[in-house]
Amino acid sequence: MRILVAWDDPAEAELIDTFLNVDPNECFVFSDVEELEASLQPGAYDTVLLSMRFPSEEGVFSLFERIRRTIPDAPVVGAWAPGEISQVAKFIKNGLHSFISRDESGDFIFLLTSIMEAAFMAVQAQRAQIVMEKLRDEVESVRQLQEAVLPRDLPMPEGYKIVARYESSQIRVLGDRPVVMAGGDYYDVFSFDDGQVVLVLGDAAGHGVKACMSIMTMHTLISMIRDRRFPNTAEFVTEVNKRLCASDIIGADQGGFITLLYCLLDSTNNTLEWTSAGHPMPMLQDLKTGEVRKLGSKEEGGLPLIIDEDWEYELCSAEIPNNCRILLYTDGLDEAFPEQGREDEQFGEEGIINTLKETVELPLEETLERLFQDSLEATGGVGRHDDTSVVLLERRSV
């Protein structure tokens, strides 16, 4: 800490220099106003100790204002002698950080190191709080941009019902308020002119602004080519991967990969076709028995996007039986766990399956709510450590 001292008593100035000029602090003491003003440069000092008699009782306020103009970020601590305190309000109103009373014995000098360090730390904390508030606003702006691309109205092919929900992680704390983070999850549901419905889930590595921008890049790319009819879902995902790798916007060498699940629902033939790029496979539940099974295998999942430009993704398909539900989700749902918990304490696939079984007779919207609620409870109330997206599809007897 670099301390500027402007002092009227040369003997006291020498003693102050001895006490304040100790590592890691560096003290610059002036008893000549011209020498002091010659040393004033923006950013030259971190704190200022100013005698209210320097260079005189009449001229100190003018000097105080010049110091504040030149080094506005440095807190100024005023030193008043008994009987001079009546002027303190004027200085405080104009930016004085704090003040100390000078006693005739000079004992106040022993307190100066603590007082100057406290002033410096208080200003640093205030600046950090301002920066954190600005970061909070930036994160909120990015989060709102991300949520703006999520679909508002989901297509409902005859005989089917679809619900979806996204929640970003909420585990960071700035001040006394939790921060809802910008996230790296994404889902979309849209239909083609022939009635086929596309269901998409994406999950960028990590979370926060970087993950959010990665997922927004993928969303933009998918929006650009989604109306082109590809032979199947595997061809579509392969094309998305090639374009992302070629764009060089998201670097896999910096942990910028994305998992993707791209599904195509044909409600006329009651079939689901899908391709996974490192994403959790869909789950199918029989509503008569409540039993749940995974569709596809881990081996059919393929690599996440942006890892291998030449990777050829696999096509998976299944018949959608009557009276069933299909769950699509990102790993934020199953990887919810207590803050100090072990991996085996996470919500997991077992938790997902248990919730689906317990809610088999509830409306689809309530099942979606329970999945998020039960997953959150698995964290012990601290919040999920990752963003979470869920799409639920139901086929019922007409």
* CATH code at position 341: 3.60.40.10
**Which residues pair with residue 390 across a beta bridge?**
165, 329
CB 389 within 8 A of CB 166: yes
Looking at the structure, tell me whether residues 93 and 169 fall in a common domain: no
- Whether residue 98 sits in one domain with residue 183: no
Q: What whole-number distance in Å separates Cα of residue 190 and Cα of residue 169?
A: 25
Backbone angles phi, psi at 266, to 5 degrees: -105, 100
Query: Does residue 218 contact residue 186 with C-beta atoms inside 8 Å?
Result: yes
Binned average pLDDT, 10 residues per bin, the chain of 398 residues: 94 92 93 94 95 92 95 94 78 92 89 94 88 73 70 91 88 52 81 91 79 81 83 93 82 72 95 96 96 88 92 95 97 84 78 97 97 90 82 88
| pLDDT at position 147 | 72
Domain that holds residue 104: 2-126
* Total tally of structural domains belonging to the chain: 2
Same domain assignment for residues 235 and 349: yes
CA 327 vs CA 59, 119, 324, 397: distances in Å: 76, 56, 10, 18
Phi first, then psi, for residue 60 (nearest 5°) are -70, -35
Find the angle CA(81)-CA(85)-CA(90) to the nearest 5 degrees.
130
pLDDT for 392 equals 98
| Assigned domain for 295 exists | yes
Q: What is the pLDDT of residue 152?
A: 83
Task: Assess if residue 143 is contained within a domain.
Answer: no
Do 100 and 50 fall into the same domain? yes
- Specify whether 208 is located in the same domain as 327: yes
Is 131 a member of any domain?
Answer: no
47 & 114 share domain: yes
Please check whether residues 105 and 206 belong to one and the same domain: no
How high is the pLDDT of residue 13? 93
Is residue 137 situated within a structural domain?
Answer: no
pLDDT for the residue 177: 56
pLDDT at 20: 94
What whole-number distance in Å separates Cα of residue 66 and Cα of residue 185? 52
286 and 359 inside one domain: yes
Residues 109 and 207 in one domain: no
DSSP secondary-structure letter at 96? -
Global confidence as pTM: 0.68
Considering the domain boundaries, does residue 98 fall inside one? yes
